[in-house]
Amino acid sequence: MTQSKAPTNGGVAIVLSGAGARGAYEAGALSVLLPLLKGDDRPRMVLGASAGALNVAILASHLHQGVDAAAAALLQGWRQITPARVFATPRLSVLRLAERRLRRPAGVAPGLLDTAPLRATVRQLLPDEHFGSAVTNGILDAVAVAASSCARGGAVVFLETTRPVPMSGPDVAYAPTRLGPEHLMASSAFPLAFPAQWVGGAAEGWYIDGGIHLNTPLKPAIDLGADRILVIGATPWDIGQAPERSRPPNLMDGSGQILHALLVDSLRADLAALARTNLQLGAGAATPAAGWRVVRYCDLHPSDDGLSDVAARSWPSGLLPFVRSLGGYGAVGPLTVQHQRPGQFLSYLCFTPEFVSEAITSGIADAERLVKGSAGITWATS
């Protein structure tokens, strides 16, 4: 996966996964790691999907002030987040959906939850809606946001870059564009819950959450020529307690496995493939002349699934009946009772101050453990 048609220009890329409200974990981790990325390790590319895309936009908008200021902006932005600043209550969502259908405005699709508040929040968090201006100003070489094309049925990476645009393939298509809020809304449009987003331009069409096909845009970072990649995911490798042995997995447990596969399994496979390629290069089994190169990386993800427990106790009481109506807490009987940690699903939509604060704290703690005893980021090949 380290073969690229684009010239190798090197440099550090920050790649951020999508995970809804768990994106606050990434902000906490970056508040520790960003100040270490200076000199030759300064970030030259930032790429993300879903909540990771929002973090990318905030980073790109503040890196001109330095990595310390960008880290502070991330924390400040997430500490302003509340459920009401992300989506409307189900009752208001229904009313607004009816209003939209009557007015039929362009670029708006139906969704279970109304994300008009998120659109307003995005504009408030970004000092410049054109967050890709960091590229034109020479602060970064590339800024990229992944989304999933409804028409194409695959990943599309919207990007601004001074580097050669990588060749599109069956797994990832690249769309050079002027980045703005519509790309962030597209990247975070989780199917059914959030409405799809229309994006204009050369790759115009309807888009949904980038996490569906490319939750962690590791390959685009490699295609753009990065030789060091900091990868931060907000979902633990293990999703928590397994179902009781006396009970077979049910609908909710199966859905949890599907969600975990989308968020984690592809990243695991990509990192394993990257490590194998690095090993082959080190052993002389592959040659740089063939277009392959060593790409070092550092990956961080939550050390445990404690954030699921935080979500279970901090979910807003006003929305809890709505969640129960969907079966998340077993209100409709044994078919939907979740044997695994009950907050797993809720954690991705739990934008409460308590959850955000705990996620930030968790990210800080894990990042501090990662770099303990070292003067900077340790880049590995396997």
Condensed to tens digits (0 to 9), the pLDDT of residues 173-224 reads: 999 999 999 999 999 998 877 889 999 987 999 999 998 999 999 999 999 9
Reported as a pLDDT band with limits 50, 70 and 90, residue 114 is: confident
Give strand ranges (E) for the chain. Answer: 12-16, 43-49, 142-149, 155-161, 172-176, 197-199, 205-209, 228-232, 296-300
Res 19 pLDDT > 80: yes
CB atoms within 10 A of CB 117: 17
Amino acid at 126: L
> What does DSSP assign to residue 243?
P
Q: Which among 141, 201, 136 is positioned nearest to 11, based on CA atoms?
A: 141
Amino acid 29: pLDDT: 98
- The contacts of residue 373 (CB under 8 Å, 6+ apart) are none
Report the alpha-carbon distance of residue 93 to residue 115 in Å, rounded.
8
283 burial type by CB count under 10 A (0-12 exposed, 13-18 middle, 19+ buried): exposed
Res 26 pLDDT > 70: yes
- The contacts of residue 22 (CB under 8 Å, 6+ apart) are 51, 234, 235, 302, 307, 347, 348, 359
Amino acid 1: pLDDT: 37
CB atoms within 10 A of CB 114: 24
